[in-house]
Amino acid sequence: GRDSGALRRRFFDFFGGGEKPLQLPREEPEAYAARGGPYAPTGFDTEPMTLEVCQYPHPALRHENRRVEVFDSKLKILVENLFESMYQFDDGIGLAAPQVGVNLRVMVYNPKRPDRSEEIVFINPVITASSEMQNE
């Protein structure tokens, strides 16, 4: 069988660092806000953590989301935190950074959970087509 997490490891190997969880030096809250928006939780991209999901009408859910420009260890930590936070919900198969107060264009997805070899990461996704049909 496939190594659970093999796809994710390939993604993370792009950043380097292997399997060992990263933790970067703590920063001032203003630094997190500058990267992740005004509602970003402290440590969202510098230390392993479970992120709290924002409930509507939290303002982070309507705030503009920035493009990811730097692919570094901070992005790696954010992605790991999104996956771990998503797995806290029994039926969750996807989680976007804005749902946890981080206004960056990042989303994680696993259609075959709990099989972690199927994890997919979207960075700066773009909708290229849509249907005319809408749900009421």
Q: Please write the tens of the pLDDT for every residue from 77-95.
A: 999 999 999 999 888 899 9
Q: How many CB atoms lie within 10 A of CB 32?
A: 21
CA 82, CA 49: separation in Å to the nearest integer?
9
Please name the residues in contact with 30: beta carbons below 8 A apart, sequence gap of 6 or more.
Answer: none
Q: Which pLDDT does position 60 carry in this prediction?
A: 93
**Both structure tokens of 21:** 């969880």
CA 60, CA 38: separation in Å to the nearest integer?
8
- pLDDT means over runs of 10, the chain (136 residues): 42 47 62 81 92 95 93 93 93 95 96 88 91 77
CA 18, CA 106: separation in Å to the nearest integer?
21
